[in-house]
Structure 1
Amino acid sequence: MGIAMVELDPMESQVTPFFKYLTVEDIPASEREGKAVHKTIEVCELRFAGDRQYAPVVPADAMYRREGTRVITYAERFSEQYRQFLSGATQEASGTALEELTNYGITPAQLSLCRAVKVYSIEALNLMEGPQLKVLGTHANDLKEMARRFMEDRSSGSSAQREIEELRQRLAAMEANEEKQAYETEAVGRAAEGFREEAIEQAAFAHMTDEQIKGLIKERTGQAPRGNPSRETLLRMAEEIVNEGA
């Protein structure tokens, strides 16, 4: 069995499924034919970490569990490996490859020992206890310690990565807030400048009476304001005339 690795629930790493074809006798057909009739079925061999002897084989379509009225088969339980089996690809065990313990001191002989007792991942090794662990013999404690250190380091690394990501998000939020404040400050500045200019323009006519402003408007446009406009309206009309002339 070729063993590649894929990240899954650590508890699943205690069980390594291996789908294969198995030829068995078809009893009903044999009885009908009066001779042995065989058929090929899909089965799943379950390999348990640290257990050399126990490796049950179940039909791929056998029930693993029931959820209400829905039946979950072993093919569905290990759907990724089942798809790999059907496509002829290497069936991948769950967890992190034991080779990742090289920097922690694992030797080729220890790797071979682990595979011999159906331990294919660091997660599986880390979870082994009691009789399971004893199958590793004199290497048990060393291997268990390597797995523990690896899991601890990975957890620390994950925490550090989360902290870095949170810091990046906070910085991004701060930058966005600063940009927003700068935009709002600029907008307020533009508005204030507009008000200031308008006030200056209005101040230019503040010393004039309403009649003088009307005279100015008539002089510039050739027509006096109609009706009896308010002073505010006269000031606005005067400003527009001046701006158009500019």
Structure 2
Amino acid sequence: MALSVPIDTRDITVTPIFKHITVENVPASEREGHPVMEVLEVVEVRFAGSKLYSPVFPANAFWKRDGHRTITYAERWADQYREFLSGNDQKAAGTPLEMLKPYGISDAQLSLCRALRIYSIEALHHLEGPNLKSLQMNANPLKEMARRYMSDRSSGSQSADKIAELMAEVAALKSQIPAKEPTLAEVEQAIQAAEDEYEAMSDDQLKEAIAAKVGSKPRGNPSRATLLSSIRELSAA
């Protein structure tokens, strides 16, 4: 299948971002009597679904030992580090989330995923536990979209025409990693925006959405508040 991206599933929900930072060399500052600044190569490690935790390590710092050899973070993510040294855009491994458009992902849900550092379908597919719950009521719908995509890709059920169409649509995207990390307030805003999408639906659209989840439309003539409550409960279930 086209767009199938071989990646190490151990790192599928981890995205490294190499960059330069300027820090003060305190011993040198004390010795010289004025601030002495140094530019360091570091890697910021982003975890899919994590709102706050994003540690930063020197690129040449110890990651693990392989026999007698020390492996650095730069060696751990060698491809990403080479892109950084070449001055190229750093891209997340995996398939762009935009490939979920035919499966129903909305623009607000795309923004939500990026705000929560989920940059690929594979990362979304492997998300579990508290990091999955960070998507709140969008967790189950997004997880199901990723599952269906992965299933279709494995079975080769997507037509060649559809694949070509989607490849053209996402050619310029390539799982772009936002350069600037969102603040916690911006993350909460993205979560709220994704959940507020139901507010923009008409009553008939809400009934159709409920029917898609339970197999039939609500009986009688329920109020809008009841419809909104039902679809949110079903989405969060």
Aligned to 2:96: 97
Aligned to 2:51: 52
SS of the residue 1:123 aligns to: helix
CA distance in 1: counterparts of 2:61 and 2:150, whole angstroms: 34
Distance 1:26 1:6, change over 3 A: farther
Aligned to 2:11: 12
1:6 CA displacement: 6.2
1:96 CA displacement: 1.1
Distance 1:19 1:13, change over 3 A: same
Aligned to 1:124: 123
1:16 CA displacement: 0.5
Q: Segments of 4+ in structure 1 off by > 4 A?
A: none
List gaps (5 residues or longer) in structure 2. 158-237
Distance 1:84 1:99, change over 3 A: same
Aligned to 1:80: 79
- Write the deviation string for residues 207-241 of structure 1: whole angstroms up to 9, x where unpaired: xxxxxxxxxxxxxxxxxxxxxxxxxxxxxxxxxxx
| Contact preservation (8 Å) 1:125, 1:147 | yes
1:127 CA displacement: 1.0
- Write the deviation string for residues 118-165 of structure 1: whole angstroms up to 9, x where unpaired: 00011111111121111111111000000111111112229xxxxxxx
SS of the residue 2:131 aligns to: helix
Alpha-carbon RMSD:
1.6
Aligned to 1:37: 36
SS of the residue 1:89 aligns to: coil
TM-score by length of 1: 0.60
If asked which structure has higher relative contact order (CA below 8 Å, sep 6+), I would say 2
Q: Does 1:65 align with 2:64?
A: yes
Aligned to 2:110: 111
Name the aligned partner's letter for residue 23 of structure 1: T
Identical-residue share of aligned pairs (%)? 60
Name the aligned partner's letter for residue 71 of structure 1: T
1:7 CA displacement: 4.2
CA distance in 1: counterparts of 2:9 and 2:103, whole angstroms: 20
Bigger CA radius of gyration: 1
Distance 1:138 1:118, change over 3 A: same
| Contact preservation (8 Å) 1:97, 1:120 | yes
Distance 1:31 1:67, change over 3 A: same
SS of the residue 1:119 aligns to: coil
CA distance in 1: counterparts of 2:10 and 2:144, whole angstroms: 18
SS of the residue 2:156 aligns to: helix
1:62 CA displacement: 0.5
1:65 CA displacement: 0.7
CA distance in 2: counterparts of 1:91 and 1:7, whole angstroms: 17
CA distance in 2: counterparts of 1:97 and 1:40, whole angstroms: 32
TM-score by length of 2: 0.62
